[in-house]
Structure 1
Amino acid sequence: MSDNKDTKRPHENGTDPVAKALAGTLEPPVLNHRPRNKRQKTKGPPPPVPSRPRQCHFLLLSKGKYCSLTTKLGNKFCGEHSMYETTADPTSTSNANENGAKTEGEGFQQTARKRIPCPFDPSHTAWADDLKAHLYKCNARPKDEPAQYSKDINLTLPAPKGSSDIGDSQGAAQPSNSGAKAIQTNSDILSTLSSDQFVALVKKIQDMYTKYVPEIQTVILDHPALDERKKMIKNIKHARQQASLLGNMERLHMLDDPTTCYVEFGAGRGELSNYLKIAVDDHGTATFVLVDRTPSRNKFDSILLGQEEIKSLVKRHTMDIKDLVLAEVPELRIDVTATQRTPPVEEKSKDEGGSKEPQYVQKKPVVAISKHLCGGATDLTLKCLTNFQATERGRSSLPSPVKGILIALCCHQLCHHYMYPNQEFLEEIDINPEEFVYLTRMSSWAVCVNQTKTEKTSNSKPDSSDENNANSPNDITGDDDDHRIEADSALDKLSTHIPTMDFQARARLGQQCKRLLDIGRVRYLQQNGFDAKLVYYVDQETSLENLALMAVPSSSSN
């Protein structure tokens, strides 16, 4: 017979956040309050006592009005200001106005009950003598991590202390904890190099590019899944990219098996998966898993379900890729389908207890896709997929658990050394953590907009009434999927270093930096049993970030 346990109240041990909060060992979150610069208002007479029934009598001096929250019957103050419910000290007249209402910022008499900041979220308070009950029902209470969560499981090296987030706007990577000195992380990092150091670094990159980067093939395709979309919009550059990606997936036989689980990393709204479903025409047999760090508005999730009687299995996981254990995602199990959307509960006999490992369940074949997966997120995805491949080998009956990878690459300036999967390749080309930062910084020059062109186009403003007219398909100076970078002041500060390097030469050097990082990714997949290639899937007039990493299992690994 099962025990009657309160699932909302776990055992109070060292790992329970409520127990930590009660013991005072929980570190409160750091709240990033925005500074408010308000003009000082002249202090006027207090407003009259609220006439609305059961309105809180707490006077907000900063706003010159009373709190608008509702009180309980018989009370003058709402729950947030209920600590002021008792009568003020008769000897003190500073804590009440002439109408008997309490005011903000003045000395109140301390009541018998005390309110303290909530340990989970100090922006609100709770009764000190009722803290335990509040912590169990507090909306800010940390949620239990799912089975597919394992902190930093997909990092190649341990994250350095104080490392920035993947989406750092500066895009400067931190050094690994290999003894390298601290590295400046702002956009002017290249200006710290001397002229000789910079010239030597440029020559080193150019030599490595010539030695390691082969000629890259151009394969621009189309797919009928985007035909209707192209007829509906005027700016079709996004549709061209999606159509070419789907066409290359069809060319590599990634759309053949309708029982495949398609995992879109950095999914955003899930638009690519939406057209992928049209291309697959799965009739509810395919599975779509969307992974993104933040929830997205205007999602395509409901459209992905389809209009047929049997809806497709669609699941969105809001999680950082660095913490994702793909093998534990329930939707990958072969016994989780469109009609059976949750894993069956395994009943244990009395003599088994809880010591026996769960029985292995066959996984569906996985195809990983992404359109413009920024910087380090690509490296984390490759590590996540190879970890999944290693976990399933020897257990899965499939020749290769991952049957395809297609990632449109971008934003190499957001790469981090400790996330980069092929550390052996960096050692081979003699790029240390410090030079890796310079490499990523210079990679942004490949997509910097020429300042001269920007000035010309800024004079002619597009018609804001039609967002489809905002940028023409052939305007490379316009929006490039939000991955375009303006030529910045750091380039001007380097004028003493590179007096003969014009804009085109800088762009060419930026491309060489990008391709060096990409070829290391290709070789990493090749070492893990994939036939991987870099392919230009659209022209540069459609997108400056026009390169995709495509991989299928090699014949030797099948």
Structure 2
Amino acid sequence: MAESKRPLDSKDPEPVAMALAGTLEPPVLNQRRRTKRQKVQGPPPPVPDRPRQCHFLLLSKGKYCSLTTKLGHKFCGEHSMHEAVADGPSGTGVDKENGESKEGKTLRKRIPCPFDPSHTAWADDLKAHLYKCNARPKDNPAQYSEDVNLTLPRPDKSTTSASETASGAAAPVAVTEKKSDVLSILSQEQLESLIKKIQDLHAKYVPEIRTMVLDHSALDERKKTVRNIKHAHQQASLLGHMKRLDMLNDPTTCYVEFGAGRGELTNYLKIAVNDHGTATFVLVDRTPPRNKFDSAILGLEEIKSLVKRHTMDIKDLVLAEVPELRRDVTATQREPPVKDILSSADQKNDNSNESTLDIPAKEVEYVEKKPVIAMSKHLCGGATDITLKCLTNYQRSEQEKSSLPSPVKGILIALCCHQLCQYYMYPNQEYLKEIGISPEEFVYLTRMSSWAVCVNHTKPEKTDGSPVTSSDNKMPVANTSSGDDDHRVEADKELEELGSHIPALDFQAREQLGLQCKRLLDFGRVKYLKENGFDAELVYYVDKDTSLENLALMAVPLAVQGNP
């Protein structure tokens, strides 16, 4: 008789061991909000008389569960935690006092699963359940390396802002934390000095940025079918710039969309490159959204495109380890071929056995990678920074091994949400030191950048030229950027609080200052790419009426520079 496949005590995986020891923190479940009015509870219905019907009363429906129970049980498997069952196969299933059945056996108890408290398991059989539980944490993939794309070590989240400045005053904010009232803490003199510094730095370091609004035929049909076509205009211009920079002419390219969301940009990219199963599409996002375009990107042809979605944080992504980037992974061969290559563990064992013979270690065969083009539409704040770090890390790791002129063939990122940038994520720390921006000033800089897209930055006018107020015709102040972007910043109460600090700056002047803060951060990103072998520039790819976040970062390697 075959032995049962029960795990050995000495080889417990870490999650299971933690769960058994009680040190595992269960995930916080999303509590469903009830928006409907609660029904008035009536008297409970009579006990069900149908044989083997579950006796669990569904209060919300006012009836008993209709599932069937096992013989001798009152509750179905879904509600078995409400039933005390005697140990062993001879359990009677009869509730008794003191936790004992008629035979004197201890009644079994169900407890919440440590991996996912939304379901339960038998307390005396918890270990076996943990090994087969679908909520058991999965092993990290090969392309996962925690915080590999951070510029500085991630600070402790519990750190507070208790530091002292050179003048002896307490620093108003921590480097890693931003508060909505951070600027209102500054005195008028400090704020005016900071504003003057930002204006001078912008005039000195940030060059003129050109506007180039392009179009692409891949979005022609969509423009005819949707009412709000601003997203179509943005996507069409981005694809037009990719065509201008020769990013759509290589059918063997691997297109990686960072912060992909539903993958809508990749969907129209597939149309633009007229792919028939030769290109590769990789989508990276922290959470899998609903209504994804993945099936549309696959296509309906016999040979479907190679599409892979990686659900992980960009800060932990090692691009060189993504399997879909390998040349031997194609639309017809969707997994790396099995080869007789020693794993790192096998190599270690072989080396230990052959150390006395002084035999050199066996090396894993290098597999050529596909050229990579990175893209994103409105990649928020720090996500842009760690994406640039991810790409330059990949460029360095593959530069000497790859036969390509540059492993990264192009970068195109529509920028947004600079207020979400973090100092330890920003890739060009040397640039910040060069222009004299301290970690504390970096927080102020990112906070003021939100003024550029604040809803109050423009107010409608009456016929006599005076601004409309909420009391005029009972109309709210118009929001010219309503629905502009999903990540748009809402109206800042802070702007009103700062009125006494900077009475000379109206909404238009504050908008201009917010744009200067954004461009200072963006120009540091351009310098970072130039220092890593790219020809990079900033381009306004749509007008402000289409999107307030209308700037894109574009880069191609110097060796394969495209058209001007």
Task: Tell me the TM-score normalized by structure 2.
Answer: 0.82
Instruction: Indicate whether 1:129 and 2:107 are aligned.
Output: no
After superposition, the Cα gap between the structure-2 partners of 1:49 and 1:314, relative to the gap in structure 1 and judged at 3 Å, is: same
Aligned positions, number: 517
2:113 paired residue among 111, 118, 123? 118
Partner amino acid, structure 2, of 1:485 = V
Q: CA RMSD, aligned part only?
A: 3.8
Deviations 1:241-297, CA, capped at 9 Å, x for gaps:
111111111111111211100001111111111111111113221111111111122
Q: In the alignment, what sits opposite 1:551?
A: 555
Q: In the alignment, what sits opposite 2:429?
A: 423
Partner amino acid, structure 1, of 2:74 = K
Q: Cα distance, 1:477 vs. partner? A: 2.9
After superposition, the Cα gap between the structure-2 partners of 1:369 and 1:35, relative to the gap in structure 1 and judged at 3 Å, is: closer
Greater CA drift, 501-510 or 120-129: 120-129
Q: In the alignment, what sits opposite 2:380?
A: 374
Identity of aligned residues (%): 71
After superposition, the Cα gap between the structure-2 partners of 1:481 and 1:75, relative to the gap in structure 1 and judged at 3 Å, is: same
Instruction: Indicate whether 1:256 and 2:249 are aligned.
Output: yes
Greater CA drift, 184-193 or 338-347: 184-193
Deviations 1:175-199, CA, capped at 9 Å, x for gaps:
99x9986366331221111111111
Q: Cα distance, 1:552 vs. partner? A: 0.5
Q: Cα distance, 1:303 vs. partner? A: 1.6
Q: Cα distance, 1:500 vs. partner? A: 1.1
**Is contact 2:83-2:95 (8 Å) kept?**
no
Instruction: Indicate whether 1:499 and 2:491 are aligned.
Output: no
Q: Cα distance, 1:206 vs. partner? A: 0.8
**Is contact 1:160-1:174 (8 Å) kept?**
no
After superposition, the Cα gap between the structure-2 partners of 1:285 and 1:32, relative to the gap in structure 1 and judged at 3 Å, is: closer
After superposition, the Cα gap between the structure-2 partners of 1:67 and 1:159, relative to the gap in structure 1 and judged at 3 Å, is: farther
1:29 paired residue among 27, 30, 36? 27
**Is contact 1:113-1:129 (8 Å) kept?**
yes
2:76 paired residue among 75, 78, 86? 78
1:198-347 alignment, distance < 5 Å: 198-347=191-340
Q: In the alignment, what sits opposite 1:18?
A: 16
**Is contact 1:261-1:287 (8 Å) kept?**
yes
- C-alpha distance in 2, partners of 1:10/1:453? 72
Deviations 1:157-183, CA, capped at 9 Å, x for gaps:
12222279xxxxxxxx9999x998636
Partner amino acid, structure 2, of 1:57 = H
- C-alpha distance in 2, partners of 1:6/1:272? 50
Deviations 1:357-385, CA, capped at 9 Å, x for gaps:
43211000000011111111111110110
Partner SS state of residue 310, structure 2? strand
Partner SS state of residue 536, structure 2? strand
Deviations 1:301-321, CA, capped at 9 Å, x for gaps:
122123333221111111111
Partner amino acid, structure 2, of 1:246 = L
Partner SS state of residue 551, structure 1? strand
Partner SS state of residue 495, structure 1? helix
2:521 paired residue among 496, 517, 522? 517
- C-alpha distance in 2, partners of 1:267/1:279? 17
Partner amino acid, structure 2, of 1:382 = L
Instruction: Indicate whether 1:144 and 2:144 are aligned.
Output: no
Q: In the alignment, what sits opposite 2:441?
A: 435
Instruction: Indicate whether 1:488 and 2:488 are aligned.
Output: no
Q: In the alignment, what sits opposite 2:544?
A: 540
Deviations 1:28-58, CA, capped at 9 Å, x for gaps:
3344647889999998755421234433324
**Is contact 1:476-1:544 (8 Å) kept?**
no
After superposition, the Cα gap between the structure-2 partners of 1:490 and 1:347, relative to the gap in structure 1 and judged at 3 Å, is: same
- C-alpha distance in 2, partners of 1:89/1:8? 32
After superposition, the Cα gap between the structure-2 partners of 1:258 and 1:348, relative to the gap in structure 1 and judged at 3 Å, is: closer
After superposition, the Cα gap between the structure-2 partners of 1:163 and 1:306, relative to the gap in structure 1 and judged at 3 Å, is: farther
Greater CA drift, 249-258 or 73-82: 73-82
Q: In the alignment, what sits opposite 1:103?
A: none
Q: Cα distance, 1:485 vs. partner? A: 2.6
Partner amino acid, structure 2, of 1:415 = C
- C-alpha distance in 2, partners of 1:545/1:8? 57
- C-alpha distance in 2, partners of 1:261/1:229? 25
- C-alpha distance in 2, partners of 1:91/1:163? 46
- C-alpha distance in 2, partners of 1:5/1:492? 73
Instruction: Indicate whether 1:185 and 2:178 are aligned.
Output: yes
Greater CA drift, 512-521 or 131-140: 131-140
Partner SS state of residue 296, structure 2? helix
- C-alpha distance in 2, partners of 1:12/1:174? 45
Partner SS state of residue 376, structure 2? strand
Partner amino acid, structure 1, of 2:501 = H
After superposition, the Cα gap between the structure-2 partners of 1:518 and 1:537, relative to the gap in structure 1 and judged at 3 Å, is: same
- C-alpha distance in 1, partners of 2:531/2:108? 65
Deviations 1:401-428, CA, capped at 9 Å, x for gaps:
0010000001111111111111111112
Q: In the alignment, what sits opposite 2:406?
A: 400
Q: Cα distance, 1:111 vs. partner? A: 4.6
**Is contact 2:47-2:55 (8 Å) kept?**
yes
Partner SS state of residue 282, structure 2? strand
Consecutive unaligned residues of structure 2, counting only runs of 5 or more, are: 86-92, 349-361, 462-466
**Is contact 2:280-2:307 (8 Å) kept?**
yes
Partner amino acid, structure 2, of 1:18 = V
1:162 paired residue among 153, 157, 163? 157
Q: In the alignment, what sits opposite 1:412?
A: 418
Task: Tell me the TM-score normalized by structure 1.
Answer: 0.83
